[in-house]
C-alpha cells in the first residue's frame, strides 16, 4: 500500500468535464430507509466506498439482504418492514460517523442485543446526545464513560412521544432520530435545543424519507420535527446524485488553475447543500453557471473572503486550500463542530497550511488564513479523506507537494487520485 503520493503540477489551466461518484450522504440515508421499508428497493448511482460498504455489511449482519451490481453503483435492498431479522449482532463501523449514528438508532427498533464499535478515532467521537434522545423514546442503550462508542443496544422497540436533543454537535443525531421515528409505536415530536448545525443535511434526510413514503412536518429552520408513525417506508426505485462534497475539489481545481470545469449531475436545486460551495467560489472571484443538470466553474482573480461555512462544513478544507491562491486573508467561521469529525479539522488544516507557508490564526470555531509564497511540503492526512483530497489541489500549482497515507480517500472516494489525474489530462 502506497504511503505517499506526489501531485504533478499542471502546465496550463484545467478545462474538463467530470461526474463524481454518488453521494455518500444520500447513499447511506437511502440504505437505512430501504432496509426498513416494506418491499424491495433499487438504489441507482450509489457510492461504492468504505463508508457505504460498512453500512451494507452492517445491514447484512442485521439480516437484511443487499445485493450489489454495476461495480456497486446499483443496490437491491430487501426491506424488513421495520422488523429486524437478527436478534443479535456485533457491528464494526470503522470510522463512519453516518453509519454509527444511523445504525444506533435503527437497532433500537429491533428486539435483541446489538453492539456497535469502530476504530480508535470512532471511540473518541461523541454519541451521548443521540443515546440520551433515544432513551427518551424508550430505548435502552449503554455507552462508555466518555459518551462515545462502543455502543450496547438492548432493543425492545421505541415507544415514541416527545424528545429533546442538542443541535450543535452533529446534525447526524437529528437525522438518525428522524429516520427511525416512523417505526416507533406513536408519533415522534423532536425539539432541537440550541443552534442546529449543517441544516442542509437535515433537509436532505427529510427529502429521502419522503421519497420512501414517510410523512413529517417541521418549522422553517428544522428546529422542531414531527414524524408520523402511520407513514412507514415503502420499497421504491431511488436515484442518487453525484457527491457534491467530492465535486468541491473539482470546482476548486478550476479556481486555483484559472480553469474551466463542468461537473455533471448536479444543479442549483440539488438535494445536497454542499452545492452552495459554489457561492463561496463566486465570492472569492470565480464565475459559476448553473445548467439543468450541470454546474460550470471558471477561475478568475481570487481575493480573500469572510464566510460562514456552518451549513457546508464538509467543504471547509477545500476553501482553506483555495485561500492559498487568493489575494489577502480569508476567514472561515462558525464550524466549531468539525473538531468532532474524522479528526479535529480546524487544528489539522491549520497545521498543514502552515507547512505551505501560510500564516494561520486558529479560533475555536474557525480560521483566518493569510497566504504566503507557497513551498513544497509533505501533507499529513490524519486518516481523514477530506484532508487528502483538499490538500492535493495545492499540488496542481505548487511543485513538491506529497500527500501522506493517500489510501484514506477510500472512505468516500476510492478512485479520487485517478480521477484527478484524468481530469488534468483532459486539458
- Residue 150: asked if its preceding bond is cis (omega within 30°), the reply is yes
Strand partners, 143: 151
Which residue blocks in 194-243 are alpha helix, DSSP H?
199-211
What backbone torsions phi and psi does residue 53 show, to the nearest 5 degrees? -65, -40
d(CA 418, CA 136): 47
User: What does the block give as the cell for 180?
Assistant: 427511525
Give the position of cell 433537509: 203
Which of 29, 45, 54 shows the shortest CA–CA distance to 172? 29
Q: What are phi and psi of 370, to 5 degrees?
A: -110, 110
Helices (H) and strands (E) in the chain, counts: 12, 23
Task: Count other Cβ atoms within 10 Å, centred on residue 404.
Answer: 17
Q: In this structure, how many other beta carbons lie within 10 angstroms of the beta carbon of residue 269?
A: 8
Q: Which residues contact 11 (CB under 8 A, 6 or more apart)?
A: none
CA 405/CA 384 separation, integer angstroms: 9
**CA 321/CA 335 separation, integer angstroms:** 16
Output the nine-digit C-alpha cell for 304: 480573500
81: alpha, beta or left? (left if phi > 0; alpha if psi -120 to 50): left
Determine how β-strand 4-6 pairs with β-strand 401-404.
antiparallel
Active site residues: 314
d(CA 260, CA 263) in angstroms, rounded, equals 10
157, containing H or E segment: none
Contact 420, 14 (CB under 8 A): no
H or E element, residue 107: helix 97-107
- β-strand pairing of 88-92 with 330-333: unpaired
Quick check: helix, strand or coil at residue 388? helix
Amino acid at each position: 500500500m502506497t504511503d505517499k503520493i506526489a501531485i504533478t503540477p499542471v502546465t496550463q489551466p484545467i478545462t474538463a468535464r467530470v461526474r463524481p461518484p454518488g453521494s455518500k450522504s444520500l447513499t447511506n440515508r437511502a440504505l437505512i430507509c430501504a432496509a426498513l421499508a416494506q418491499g424491495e428497493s433499487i438504489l441507482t448511482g450509489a457510492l461504492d466506498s468504505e463508508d457505504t460498504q460498512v453500512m451494507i455489511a452492517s445491514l447484512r449482519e442485521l439480516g437484511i439482504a443487499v445485493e450489489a451490481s454495476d461495480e456497486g453503483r446499483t443496490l437491491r435492498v430487501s426491506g424488513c418492514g421495520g422488523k429486524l431479522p437478527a436478534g443479535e449482532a456485533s457491528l464494526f463501523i470503522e470510522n463512519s460517523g453516518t453509519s454509527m449514528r444511523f445504525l444506533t438508532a435503527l437497532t433500537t427498533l429491533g428486539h435483541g442485543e446489538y453492539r456497535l464499535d469502530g476504530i480508535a478515532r470512532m471511540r473518541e467521537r461523541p454519541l451521548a446526545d443521540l443515546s440520551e434522545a433515544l432513551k427518551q423514546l424508550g430505548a435502552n442503550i449503554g455507552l462508555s464513560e466518555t459518551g462515545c462508542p462502543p455502543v450496547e443496544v438492548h432493543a425492545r422497540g421505541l415507544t415514541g412521544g416527545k424528545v429533546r436533543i442538542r443541535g450543535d454537535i452533529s446534525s447526524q443525531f437529528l437525522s438518525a432520530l428522524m429516520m427511525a421515528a416512523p417505526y416507533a409505536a406513536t408519533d415522534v415530536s423532536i425539539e432541537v435545543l440550541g443552534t442546529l448545525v449543517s441544516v442542509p443535511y437535515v433537509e436532505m434526510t427529510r427529502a429521502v424519507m419522503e421519497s420512501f413514503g414517510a410523512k413529517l412536518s417541521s418549522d422553517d429552520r428544522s428546529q422542531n420535527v414531527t414524524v408520523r408513525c402511520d407513514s412507514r417506508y415503502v420499497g421504491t426505485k431511488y436515484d442518487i446524485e453525484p457527491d457534491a462534497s467530492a465535486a468541491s475539489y473539482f470546482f476548486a481545481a478550476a479556481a486555483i488553475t484559472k480553469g474551466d470545469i463542468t461537473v455533471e449531475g448536479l444543479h442549483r436545486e440539488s438535494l445536497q447543500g454542499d452545492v452552495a460551495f459554489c457561492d463561496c467560489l463566486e465570492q472569492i472571484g470565480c464565475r459559476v453557471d448553473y445548467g439543468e443538470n450541470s454546474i460550470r466553474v471558471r477561475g478568475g482573480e481570487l481575493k480573500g473572503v469572510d464566510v460562514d461555512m456552518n451549513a457546508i462544513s464538509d467543504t471547509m478544507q477545500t476553501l482553506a486550500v483555495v485561500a492559498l491562491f487568493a489575494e489577502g486573508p480569508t476567514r472561515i467561521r462558525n464550524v466549531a463542530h468539525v473538531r468532532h469529525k474524522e479528526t479535529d479539522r480546524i487544528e489539522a488544516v491549520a497545521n498543514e497550511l502552515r507547512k505551505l507557508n501560510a500564516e494561520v490564526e486558529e479560533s475555536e470555531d474557525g480560521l483566518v488564513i493569510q497566504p504566503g509564497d507557497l513551498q513544497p511540503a509533505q501533507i499529513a492526512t490524519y486518516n481523514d479523506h477530506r484532508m487528502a483530497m483538499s490538500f492535493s489541489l495545492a499540488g496542481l500549482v505548487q511543485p513538491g507537494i506529497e500527500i501522506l497515507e493517500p489510501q484514506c480517500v477510500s472512505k468516500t472516494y476510492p478512485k479520487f487520485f485517478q480521477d484527478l489525474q484524468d481530469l488534468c489530462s483532459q486539458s
